[in-house]
């Protein structure tokens, strides 16, 4: 079957299953919000996300009122709805960056290791194992601390923490692809090392990696928000980011639960959507369901 037909079959299978279709819709919704917020924020009501509202600088969180503050306000006088909408863009952007960055590095390392085998493979894998011997959250803290405590540095730290997983995974996939006959055939017809790696191995490694990426995006968003929650990014409370919002609201959580609930729900729904989509993709790409 041609590649295009395969993609079409994947999409069809995705939509047939209610939960993965729901996941896809949720994810698209979030992406839509992020894009709109970047381009034309007024459309979704984001006027001034994190500046103290003029004439309403009450730092204590106020409960939700309609239509002025649908999510209420949070410390220090910020409209929660606008903050969450803007934060979605920030979180999505960084999470995407982290996962794709980590995947790129990981795939490179993994495929090279699998293809070159021998000493290079050993060395690369030992390095990967060393990185994998530290659990990701504390490691991210350590790396991030060293690099600096901004959002960009945090993303870099998470990329450093995340790539070994992809390296391992990609290597495993590449190893099994390498055994396939068409690689031998390509070699026999004189295609060089890099050519084989890029044209034959990588495309076939990409499909399961793609599933892994979609599953990971949900986790990365949570991890990113978790790290900002414990206070990673120190550029003050005016940062539209979901984790920061939750940590800002933490001291007021008991008396004003909405400050914590809404940002958290935003993360939760995205994670749910992403996981549903990832699961659905994995099932759709499973050869057993495609016959």
User: Least distance to other proteins from the beta carbon of 251, Å?
Assistant: 11
Nearer to other proteins, 20 or 183 (CB): 20
User: Least distance to other proteins from the beta carbon of 228, Å?
Assistant: 11
User: Least distance to other proteins from the beta carbon of 55, Å?
Assistant: 28
Nearer to other proteins, 188 or 254 (CB): 254
Separation of alpha carbons 37 and 54, rounded Å: 21
Which residues are near other proteins by CB under 8 A? 126, 129-139, 141-143, 145-147, 149, 218, 222-223, 225-226, 229-232, 246, 250, 253-255, 257, 260-261, 264, 267-268, 271-272, 275, 291
CA distance to 44, 109, 168, 264, per residue, from 222 (Å): 24, 26, 22, 10
Nearer to other proteins, 135 or 190 (CB): 135
Nearer to other proteins, 24 or 260 (CB): 260
SS3 state of residue 233: coil
DSSP state of 61: -
| Side-chain half-sphere exposure of 171, counting CA atoms within 13 A | 23
What are the strands, taking DSSP E only, across the chain? 73-74, 78-79
User: Least distance to other proteins from the beta carbon of 241, Å?
Assistant: 13
User: Least distance to other proteins from the beta carbon of 154, Å?
Assistant: 11
Please state at what angle helix 118-132 crosses helix 151-178, rounded to 10 degrees: 140
Residues whose CB is less than 8 angstroms from the CB of residue 283 and which lie 6 or more positions away in sequence, other chains included: 13, 17, 20, 289
Separation of alpha carbons 143 and 281, rounded Å: 33
Nearer to other proteins, 115 or 232 (CB): 232
């Amino acid at each position: 079957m041609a590649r295009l037909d395969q993609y079409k079959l994947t999409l069809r299978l995705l939509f047939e299953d209610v939960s993965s279709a729901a996941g896809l819709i949720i994810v698209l919704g979030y992406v839509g919000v992020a894009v709109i917020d970047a381009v034309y924020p007024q459309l979704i009501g984001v006027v001034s996300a994190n500046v103290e509202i003029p004439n309403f600088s009450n730092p204590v969180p106020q409960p939700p009122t309609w239509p002025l503050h649908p999510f209420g306000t949070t410390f220090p006088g910020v409209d929660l709805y606008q903050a969450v909408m803007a934060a979605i863009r920030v979180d999505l952007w960084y999470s995407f960056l982290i996962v794709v960055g980590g995947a790129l590095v990981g795939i490179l390392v993994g495929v090279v290791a699998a293809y070159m085998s021998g000493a290079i493979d050993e060395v690369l894998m030992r390095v990967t194992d060393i990185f994998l011997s530290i659990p990701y959250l504390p490691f991210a803290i350590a790396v991030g601390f060293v690099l600096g405590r901004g959002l960009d540095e945090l993303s870099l730290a998470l990329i450093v923490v995340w790539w070994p997983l992809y390296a391992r995974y990609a290597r495993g996939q590449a190893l099994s692809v390498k055994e396939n006959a068409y690689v031998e055939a390509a070699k026999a017809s004189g295609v060089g090392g890099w050519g084989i790696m890029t044209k034959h191995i990588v495309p076939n490694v990409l499909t399961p990696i793609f599933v892994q990426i979609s599953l990971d995006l949900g986790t990365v968003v949570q991890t990113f928000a978790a790290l900002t929650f414990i206070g990673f990014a120190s550029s003050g409370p005016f940062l539209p980011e979901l984790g920061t919002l939750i940590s800002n609201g933490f001291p007021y959580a008991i008396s004003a639960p909405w400050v914590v609930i809404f940002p958290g729900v935003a993360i939760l729904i995205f994670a749910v959507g992403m996981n549903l989509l990832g699961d659905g993709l994995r099932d759709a790409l499973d050869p057993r369901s495609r016959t």
